[in-house]
Structure 1
Amino acid sequence: MGRPAVAILGTRGIPAAHGGFETLAERLAQHLANRGWRVTVYCQHEVASLGRRFTPSTWRGIELVHVEVARKGALATLAFDWHCTRHAAGRDALCLVLGYNGAPFLPWLRLRGRTILTNMDGIEWRRPKWNHAVRGYFWVSEWIAAWASHRLIADHPAIADHLATRRPRSAIATIPYGGDPVTEAPTAPLDALGLTPQNYLLSVARIEPDNSILPIVRAFSRRRRGARLVVLGCLSDANPYHRAVRAAAGDEVLFPGGIYDPAQVRALRFHARAYLHGHRVGGTNPSLVEALWAGNAVIAHDNVFNAWTTGPGQFAFRDEDALEAAIHLALTEPESLAPARAAARRRAAEAFAWSEVLARYEAELIALAELAGSRQATPVSVRPDAAPRPR
C-alpha cells in the first residue's frame, strides 16, 4: 500500500516568512510528513525573466515545488496559482487549497480527477480596501471555490455560517488557526527599538482601513501617555491611508515597519502592556491567536469575529471614544489587566492548540481520501467529533 499524498496550494510557500497561511502550511506539512504522508508544497518565486518554471527541492522530508513567475503583484499571484493548479492536476494526491484567490482554476482540478479541500479564509469581498471590480472577482471566486471543492474549511463559526449560504453545512468543517504558548522572551528586540517592557501597547497588522489602524493611532495620540504605541506593519508614502496614519501619530507612536522574524515578534508581544486589534472583517485572525498565546490583555474591535476568538474577559470597542477609554485604563490601571491576561491563556489553550488543529486537518484529509477511494492513510487518533466525515 502506497503512502497517502497531499499537495498544498495557495500560499507563497515554506519555510514560512509572510503570514498566517504560510505558517499553517509549514506546521501542517511537517505534521503530515512525520505521520507518513507524501507532502508537496508549492512555493512562489517572482523573477525578472523566466528561467525554469518548476524546480523541485526537499525540506525536512517535504517536497517543495518552486514556481517561477515573471510578473509582479496580483498578476504574479494569479499566474502562480494557475501554474500550481496545472502541475498539481497531474499528481495523484489530495489537494489542500488555502484561500480562494485562484478559485477560477479549481474546476480544472476537478476535471482532472483531483479531490479538493479548501480553507475559505475570510470574506474577502467585504473588505473596504478593494474597488468594485476586485470585490466582484472575490465574490465570484468564493462561489466557485465553494462548489468546485469537495469539502470546505471555515476557520471561525461565523465564517461557517456564511459558507452555509453557499453549500450545505454537511460540506463544511470548522477548524481555527493554531498557536504556541509564549511564557518567556528576551528583551533584546525591545532594546533595539528603545522600548521598555510593559510600557508600550502593540498593534500587529496590515496598515489598512478595515484593520482600524487610523482610529487606533488617533485614539492613542489624543494626549500624552508616558508610554509608546508600537504599530508593526509596512507603510508607504505613496498610499493615502498610510500618509493619514503617519499624520495622525503623536511622537509617542513608533512605526518599526514590517518585522517578520518570529522571535522578535514573540518578544514584542510578550512584553507589551496590551495588544490592540482593530480588525473588522475576517475569521480567526492569526495575529489575535498569537496574542492570546502570549498572554496579552486584548483591546479588540467589537464584532462577532473577534468576540468569539478572544472569548470573555477582554476589552472591546465600537468607536474611537471607547477605544481611547480602554487605552487609558490599560496605561493607568495596570492591575486591571491581570484577569484579561489569565483569560487569554485559558482561551488559547482551550481553542487554538496546534496539536488539535493539525489532527483535525489530517482527519479531514483521511476522510476525503476514503471518500474518493484513494489510498488508505495510516489511522490517526482524534476525538470522534473532531472532524465530521464528508457526505
Structure 2
Amino acid sequence: MKTLRILGTRGVPAAHGGFETFAEHLALYLVAHGWRVVVYCQEDGPGPVFEDTWQGIERVHIPVAQTGPKGTVVFDWKATAHAAQFGDLCLTLGYNTAAFCALLRMKGVPNLINMDGIEWSRAKWGPVAKTWFWLNDWAGCWLGNHLVADHPKIKEHLRSRWLREDKITMIPYGADAVTDAHAEKVIVLGLEPKRYLTVIARAEPENSLLEIVKGFSKKPRGYQLAVLGNYDPEKNAYHRAVMDAAGAEVLFLGAIYDKAVVRALRFHSVAYIHGHQVGGTNPSLIEAMGAGNPVIAHDNPFNRWVAGESARYFSDADACSDRLDEVLQSPSVLDEMKQGILQRHQDEFTWEKVLVEYEALLVKWLPDLSKRKMKSARLGLIER
C-alpha cells in the first residue's frame, strides 16, 4: 500500500495555519486515492504517545511538556525519530528543524521537504533565531532527498544553495473557490456586504499593516477596513502605532478562527489588501483570490507572480491610498480585477491542480521506486 508520513505541522484537522490546511487537504486527497497516510500531531502537556484515526487518516499524537518554540523543536525531534523507525516515504513541511532530517537520511528513509518561505530573512526575528533558520535552510537543502518550492522565487533561492535544478519541484499552495456565504456572519460584526475591504495578517512590520492602515485612513472612503489579527497595544509598540494610525472607518476584529466566518468575510468583501513583503505563495492571498476578491498588494516579486496582472500594487502608505482611490471609485475596474483574479486562481491555485501535482511527485519517491536513488544519495548527497 502506498504510504506517506507527514511531519512538520501541529496536525489535523487544521486549526493553526497554512501548512496544517495543506496537510489536511493532501492527506484526505491521498486517502481517497488509496494511500495510507500518517500525520504527526503535537499535543500540549506530558503523556505517552498515542494513535487514532480521523477521516481515514492515521494520527500519531506526541505530547510535549515544553511550550512555545522550544516545544515545537522537541515535537519535531520526537516525530522525526518515530518516523525513522519505518521505511515509509516522508513529507516534511517546513525547514525550521531540518537538521533533524539527518536521521531520516542515515536510516535510508526517503524524505521530501517543502521549504516554505525564506524564514531567516523576516524582520521579526533576532540574531539567534535568524542564525538558526539560516542554518536549517542549508540543512534542508542538503538533507532532503527532494525539495518542493511553493513559488518560482523560492525555487530560485534554493538553486542558490548549489543544488541541481532537478532536485527542486515548484508546486504552489491551493485554495478553495468560494461561491457563496451567509451575509449574516459579517453583518453581526458591524459590516455591510460589499462595503468593506479586508486585510488578514499577523501584525508585524514586514506585513505592511502600518502602511495599509495609514493609506486607508488618509481620507473618508465610504467603506470600512476590516482588520483581522491579534493586537495588544499595551505591550507591543508596533501594534499601538497601527491602531493609532486608524481612522473611524477601520475596524479591528481581532483573531477569528471560525472558518465559516472567515469565508463569509472574504466572500462579501469588496477587495482584499495584502501587505506581505517576503515569503512565497501566501495562503491568505490565494484564499482571497478564490473568493473573487480584487487584490491590492505590496509590490514585490512574490505577490506579483501570485496575484498577476489583474491586481494593483503599492510600495508605501501614499501609494496604497492612491490604489484605493483608483479601484473604489470605479465599479468597472473592480469587476475587471475580480474576473482576472478568479481566472488566475483557476489557472494555478485550485486544490485539484495542486494535489494532483503532489501525488505525481510523491509516487516517484515511494521506497520501492526510489531505492536506487536512495542508495547512491545516502552517502554522497549526489542530488545536491
Report whether the alignment pairs 1:27 with 2:25: yes
Report whether the alignment pairs 1:185 with 2:181: yes
Give the CA deviation at 1:371. Answer: 4.3
Report whether the alignment pairs 1:348 with 2:345: yes
What SS class does the counterpart of residue 338 from structure 2 fall into? Answer: helix
2:209 counterpart residue number: 213
Q: Distance in 2 between matches of 1:175 and 1:56?
A: 30
- Matches for 1:1-391 after TM superposition, within 5 Å: 3-47=1-45, 50-52=46-48, 54-166=49-161, 167-237=163-233, 238-369=235-366, 370-373=368-371
Q: Which moved more, 1:24-33 or 1:242-251?
A: 242-251
Q: Does the Cα contact within 8 Å between 2:187 and 2:193 map onto a contact in 1? A: no
Give the CA deviation at 1:185. Answer: 1.2
What SS class does the counterpart of residue 309 from structure 2 fall into? Answer: coil
Q: Distance in 1 between matches of 2:236 and 2:106?
A: 42
Q: Distance in 2 between matches of 1:51 and 1:282?
A: 36
Which digits, 9 at most, give the CA deviation of each residue in 1:327-386, with x for residues without a partner?
Answer: 223333233211000001100000011111111111111101154239xxxxxxxxxxxx
2:379 counterpart residue number: none
Give the CA deviation at 1:5. Answer: 1.0
Q: Which moved more, 1:24-33 or 1:235-244?
A: 235-244
Give the CA deviation at 1:217. Answer: 0.8
What SS class does the counterpart of residue 6 from structure 1 fall into? Answer: strand
Q: Does the Cα contact within 8 Å between 2:328 and 2:334 map onto a contact in 1? A: no
Q: Distance in 2 between matches of 1:85 and 1:267?
A: 38
2:364 is aligned with what amino acid? A
2:361 is aligned with what amino acid? E
Q: Does the Cα contact within 8 Å between 1:154 and 1:176 map onto a contact in 2? A: yes
The CA RMSD over aligned residues, in Å, is 1.4
Which digits, 9 at most, give the CA deviation of each residue in 1:244-284, with x for residues without a partner?
Answer: 21121122211111112221111111111110000110101
Instruction: List alignment gaps of at least 5 residues for structure 2.
Output: 373-382
Q: Does the Cα contact within 8 Å between 1:203 and 1:275 map onto a contact in 2? A: yes
Give the CA deviation at 1:210. Answer: 0.8
TM-score (normalizing by structure 2): 0.94
Give the CA deviation at 1:314. Answer: 1.2
Q: Does the Cα contact within 8 Å between 1:273 and 1:330 map onto a contact in 2? A: no
2:20 is aligned with what amino acid? E
Q: Distance in 1 between matches of 2:315 and 2:248?
A: 25
Q: Distance in 1 between matches of 2:97 and 2:76?
A: 5
Give the CA deviation at 1:242. Answer: 1.3
Q: Does the Cα contact within 8 Å between 1:5 and 1:92 map onto a contact in 2? A: no
Q: Distance in 1 between matches of 2:332 and 2:353?
A: 33
Q: Distance in 2 between matches of 1:232 and 1:291?
A: 13
Give the CA deviation at 1:125. Answer: 0.9
Q: Percent identity of the aligned residues? A: 50
TM-score (normalizing by structure 1): 0.92
Q: Distance in 1 between matches of 2:249 and 2:5?
A: 46
Give the CA deviation at 1:73. Answer: 0.9
What SS class does the counterpart of residue 51 from structure 2 fall into? Answer: strand
1:252 is aligned with what amino acid? E
1:219 is aligned with what amino acid? G
Instruction: List alignment gaps of at least 5 residues for structure 1.
Output: 375-389
Q: Distance in 2 between matches of 1:361 and 1:77?
A: 25
What SS class does the counterpart of residue 310 from structure 2 fall into? Answer: coil
Which digits, 9 at most, give the CA deviation of each residue in 1:115-150, with x for residues without a partner?
Answer: 110000001111111111111111100000110000
Q: Does the Cα contact within 8 Å between 1:98 and 1:118 map onto a contact in 2? A: yes
2:124 is aligned with what amino acid? K
Q: Distance in 2 between matches of 1:364 and 1:142?
A: 21
Q: Distance in 2 between matches of 1:194 and 1:236?
A: 21
Number of matched residues? 371
